[in-house]
Amino acid sequence: MSKAVSQPALWAKGVSKRYAGVQALDGVSVEFFPGEVVAIIGENGAGKSTLMKILSGVVQPDEGKLFLDGEEVNFPGPRDAMAKGISLIHQELNLAENLSIADNLYLGREIRWAGPLGLIDHAATRKGAAGLLSTVGLRLDPGTLVGQLSPGQKQLVEIARSLSLTARFLIMDEPTSSLTQKETDQLEAVVRELKSNGVCVIYITHRLAEVRRMADRVVGLRDGKNAGSLDQNQISHDSLIKLMVGREIKPPSHSEQVVTSSKAVLRLEDLRYAQSPLPGISLEVKSGEILGMAGLMGAGRTELSECVFGLRKRVGGKVILNGSELPANDVRSSIKQGMALVPEDRRGHGLLLETGVGYNLSLPNLDWLNWFGVVRPGSERRMVGEQIKNMGVKTTNASKPVGMLSGGNQQKVVLGKWLARQPKLLILDEPTRGVDVGAREEIYRIMRALAANGIGILMISSDMEEVLSVSDRILVMHEGALSGELHRNQFSEEAVMSLATGKPAEEKTADHIGYGRG
């Protein structure tokens, strides 16, 4: 780190920003030096993303100033910030899904042939794209349409696009929220390389283990204000928690786990979907159990959950819920029989962002909120009010667009709309992705309460700490098939990663020991 330089290369001084009566930032000051990794932490709504948007020219501050190399600067738009070497990787991806990976990487700055026509040089574009994809460890054809990629793969494409710019300051807003452990390791190697080349990496994440591993300095925000900072030798789990929330957060412990019954609420028998390997998947989720499902990106966990729910075509096998076999490819029957799915991409597949909180909570429950085809306003208001209260959704009113809520509150709305139906089986695909530590605690509490009431929970998660601390039992997938099962006394990061990479759990080799979260 080059903090020995007396003058910061970039300085936000007394920055404030207000949105529709809400004070997002209130006099925040932060300094950034060349060749350092600065972690910006805080709960959802603390002002982190707003600060990053101001630094990158996406929005302008109401008050305060920005200084670059000691001179006051103003960025009317993102292009102005990029011209000065400031690049932002957004938390919510900004990719054109109808274009190829290569076209997205060079969108707006296409490589062209010399000459009067200035035609795009597709060969050079593909070659450059292949090199960028290799840098982030993504082995894909540059001609692949972005719309065909998984959320994690899209995240890596977004990162590769930012790396293609000659940036002095690279802002990463939740860059690993869609990445598995292996992809996260690759990203961390990229960050270390950037740092050694004098780039200042400004890193926002809710994964505190990443902060402990990577940050040279930590800046905390709370309620839109500076909450303090930590030098590298002061960074610990407890100090980070205190800086973020101002109180101690008790992590879930094994002693809090409930005793599950022997009754299977869900049973899969040789379940197969298009392009799934043979033999099919067979498993059980018991009443009152949180069954964790781990695996690397592309292992097939999301595809399996979609097939179980009826979203993905089933080509063989059985799905048995509460003793009754469900028809194939029939989401309506799955819901009616007591199954619910909280998807991996809550903004794209779980919510209608421009509509109100109440509308989102009501939508999957209209079958019992109506009377002869007409929604009963009183019943709807009662249900919405109860779910907002039960889930602890922080919103000014039920009409507020759900897209204006924090990530944690959006996730509570997705949960709440299904819990109003009192499901027997709840499938959670990455339940705390992009959610701050305080909201995580609340979601875990809700999950435990549901399990205690006999609901079976199938939890898909790429967060190793979450899988190990929340699950009663763990199943691991590898290349579309189940590679093993772990009971409580077998839980360890090494055991999970051994199975996730297709190796026996007892086989201990150097190439997977390094995947530990720290």
pLDDT 10s digits, 240-270: 878 877 755 555 554 444 445 678 999 999 9
CA 236/CA 228 separation, integer angstroms: 14
Map out the domains of the chain with their CATH numbers. 10-245 (3.40.50.300), 260-338+423-518 (3.40.50.300), 348-422 (no CATH)
* C-beta separation of 153 from 101 below 8 A: no
* C-beta separation of 29 from 15 below 8 A: yes
CA 71/CA 10 separation, integer angstroms: 9
CA 100/CA 113 separation, integer angstroms: 19
CA 345/CA 496 separation, integer angstroms: 24
Burial class (CB within 10 angstroms; exposed 0-12, middle 13-18, buried 19+) of 396: exposed
Residues contacting 396, CB < 8 A, separation 6+: none
Tell me: cis bond preceding 377? Omega within 30 of 0 counts.
no
Check residues 103 and 186 and name the one with the higher pLDDT.
Answer: 103
Residue 131 has pLDDT above 60, yes or no: yes
pLDDT 10s digits, 197-219: 898 999 998 778 889 999 999 99
pLDDT 10s digits, 285-344: 999 999 999 987 678 899 999 999 999 999 999 999 999 999 999 999 999 999 999 998
